[in-house]
């Protein structure tokens, strides 16, 4: 059974530098939780703090309600899957999986039974006697998962374990991991810089920028209503327009930009006169009809790349700024030529304005 993990005001300092600062997250028991962020944002540090390889400089980590300070990684109810898997190369698959049980002095008979169960769970039939070096990438992955699950952890920590696999295998292992998580009911804490991975697998996602958690929410909430400019630009493709707020209209704001004036959602309730950034997802941009008056943008097509189900069109304005739209291939769209003058529109509901700052370096 999974246990919950509480991070209370957790900070980790290396010398003068904070790798993590004032982190407050409550991960529920049995949840699949992902920390998503660019490399160097401190997500691996968080994982190592939870696993007990180090203690936080400040704050508290609780697992199953119990304070973990001073408890070493060998005595925590966690198990970690390393980025490079860290399988033991001089041991067979069975010995690898049974390692955690062996060092806990579990009897040989019990150990063999548990190892067999796990080999079945992760679908590794017939490889038990082989050396790790004889396995394929996907099989190694499964050995690492089985080895970690063998010690019956309440919390499984995964440090980008899929990053070394090719795309097809990665997609397959994502589904597999999700499946194993549901079957075992263990709390999974997953670290990744790959947004698709985080969005597809997780119950909830914590988006991190440099040492800080920017937003914790369900994947669709993260994508549709990002709380900060960092989240909006890091998760998913997005168009960015800078502008000044010239009018407030309830939950909406009107911004004057170099491209024209646009209405959009104002979730942070930014006040009139401030400079801020508008975010618009490419799939919420459409070709404008004659009658459309609001949020229309005149531009020229630059490149059109047809991807089958949709086409990605890059547009440029007179100011030479880029803008992308994604047109669904549903038959309603006329064929566009490169260099064509067109007008596009977006709904004020699908665009939002957020305070400047914190955007990641693309």
Partner 1 sequence: MRDFWNTALRDLGKIGIAYISVTVGVWVVFMIIIPQLIMFDYSLRPMLPLRELGGPKDVWTLKNYLVFFTNRLHMAIFFKTIWSSLIVTLVALSICYPIAFYLAKVARGAKVGLLMLGLIIPYWINELLRLFAWQIILADMGILNQLLIFLGIIADPINFRMGNGAVILGMTYAYILFMVFPIYNVMESLDKNQLDAARDLGASWPRIHYKIVMPHAKPGIAVGCTMTFMLAAGTVAAPQLLGSPSSFWFTQVINTNFECANWNLGAAYATVLMLLCVVFMFMMLKLFKVGLKELTQ
100 binds partner 1 (CB under 8 A): yes
Give least dist CB 87 to partner 1, A: 8
By the rule CB under 8 A, 99 interacts with partner 1 = yes
234-293 residues in contact with partner 1 (CB under 8 A) are none
Strands in the chain per DSSP E: 5-14, 17-27, 32-36, 58-63, 66-67, 78-81, 155-159, 187-192, 204-209, 212-217, 239-249, 252-257, 260-265, 275-280, 285-287, 296-306, 310-316, 322-328, 341-346, 351-355
CA 249 to chain centre: 33
What is the Cα–Cα distance from 332 to 347, expressed in whole angstroms?
A: 18
- Residue 196 in the binding site for partner 1 (CB under 8 A): no
**Member of 44, 45, 78, 238 binding partner 1 (CB under 8 A):** 78
Stretch touching partner 1 by CB under 8 A, among 23-31, 68-76, 164-172, 308-316 = 68-76
CB 323, CB 239: distance < 8 Å: yes
Looking at 21-92, list the stretches that DSSP marks H as alpha helix, in order from N- to C-terminal side: 43-51
Nearest approach in angstroms of CB 218 to partner 1 is 29
CB nearer to partner 1: pick between 52 and 138: 52
What CA–CA distance (Å, rounded) separates 297 from 323?
10
CB of 165 to partner 1, least distance (A): 18
Cβ 100 to partner 1, closest distance in Å?
A: 4
- From the list 69-77, 179-187, 257-265, 322-330, the region that binds partner 1 by CB under 8 A is 69-77
Kindly state the smallest distance separating residue 73's Cβ from partner 1, in Å: 5
Sign of CA dihedral 143, 148, 151, 153: negative
Stretch that binds partner 1, among 59-67, 74-82, 208-216, 298-306 (CB under 8 A): 74-82
CA distance 215 to 226: 8
3-state secondary structure 226-270: CCCHHHHHHCCCCEEEEEEEEEEECCEEEEEECCEEEEEECCCCC
Contact segment (CB under 8 A) with partner 1 among 50-58, 234-242, 335-343, 348-356 equals 50-58
Candidates 28-36, 46-54, 237-245, 301-309: pick the segment binding partner 1 (CB under 8 A).
46-54
CA distance 260 to 329: 28
- Is residue 88 a contact point for partner 1 (CB under 8 A)? yes
| Residue from 26, 69, 104, 349 binding partner 1 (CB under 8 A) | 104
**CA of residue 168 relative to chain centroid, distance:** 19
- Of 264, 272, 228, 225, nearest to 247 by C-alpha is 272
Q: Is 51 in the site for partner 1 (CB under 8 A)?
A: yes
Residue 82 is a binding residue for partner 1 (CB under 8 A): yes
Nearest CA to 164 out of 186, 182, 139 is that of: 139
| Rounded Cα distance, 186 and 68, in Å | 18
Count of residues engaged in binding partner 1, rule: CB under 8 A:
25
For residues 51 and 215, which CB has a smaller minimum distance to partner 1 in the complex? 51
Report if residue 84 touches partner 1, rule: CB under 8 A. yes
Per the CB < 8 A criterion, the answer to whether 313 and 324 are in contact is yes
Q: How far apart are CA 15 and CA 162, in angstroms?
A: 31
Q: Mapping DSSP to helix (H, G, I), strand (E, B) and coil, where does residue 320 land?
A: coil
State yes or no: residue 21 binds partner 1 (CB under 8 A). Answer: no
Residue 138-177 contact track with partner 1, rule CB under 8 A, x = bound: ---------xx-xx--------------------------
Stretch that binds partner 1, among 81-89, 182-190, 238-246, 284-292 (CB under 8 A): 81-89
Q: Is 131 in the site for partner 1 (CB under 8 A)?
A: no
Contact positions toward partner 1, by CB under 8 A? 51-53, 72-75, 78-80, 82-84, 86-88, 90, 99-100, 103-104, 147-148, 150-151
């Amino acid at each position: 059974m999974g246990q919950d993990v509480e991070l209370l005001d957790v900070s980790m300092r290396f010398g003068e530098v904070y790798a993590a600062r004032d982190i407050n997250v409550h991960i529920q028991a049995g949840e699949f939780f992902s920390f998503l962020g660019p490399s160097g944002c401190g997500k691996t540090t968080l994982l190592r703090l939870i696993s007990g390889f180090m203690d936080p400089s400040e704050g508290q980590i609780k697992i199953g309600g119990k304070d973990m300070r001073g408890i070493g990684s060998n005595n925590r109810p966690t198990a970690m899957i390393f980025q490079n898997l860290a399988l033991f190369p001089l041991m067979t698959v069975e010995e690898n999986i049974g390692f955690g049980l062996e060092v806990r002095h579990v009897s040989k008979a019990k150990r063999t039974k548990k190892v067999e169960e796990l080999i079945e769970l992760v679908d590794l039939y017939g490889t038990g006697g082989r050396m790790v070096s004889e396995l394929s990438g996907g099989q190694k992955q499964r050995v690492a998962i089985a080895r970690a699950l063998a010690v019956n952890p309440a919390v499984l920590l995964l440090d980008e374990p899929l990053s070394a696999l090719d795309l097809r295998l990665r997609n397959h292992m994502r589904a597999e991991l999700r499946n194993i998580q549901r079957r075992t009911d263990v709390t999974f804490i997953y670290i990744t810089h790959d947004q698709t991975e985080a969005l597809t697998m997780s119950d909830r996602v914590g988006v991190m920028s440099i040492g800080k958690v920017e937003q914790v929410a369900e994947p669709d909430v993260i994508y549709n209503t990002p709380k900060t400019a960092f989240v909006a630009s890091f998760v998913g493709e997005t168009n960015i327009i800078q502008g000044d707020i010239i009018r407030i209209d309830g939950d909406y704001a009107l911004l004057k930009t170099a491209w024209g004036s646009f209405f959009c959602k104002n979730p942070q309730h930014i006040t009139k006169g401030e400079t801020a950034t508008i975010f618009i997802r490419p799939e919420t941009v459409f070709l404008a009809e004659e009658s459309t008056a609001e949020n229309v943008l005149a531009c020229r097509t630059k490149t059109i790349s047809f991807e089958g189900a949709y086409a990605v069109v890059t547009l440029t304005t007179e100011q030479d700024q880029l803008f992308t739209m994604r047109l669904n291939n549903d038959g309603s769209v006329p064929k566009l030529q490169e260099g064509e003058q067109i007008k596009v529109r977006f709904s004020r509901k699908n665009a939002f304005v957020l305070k400047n700052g914190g955007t990641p370096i693309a």
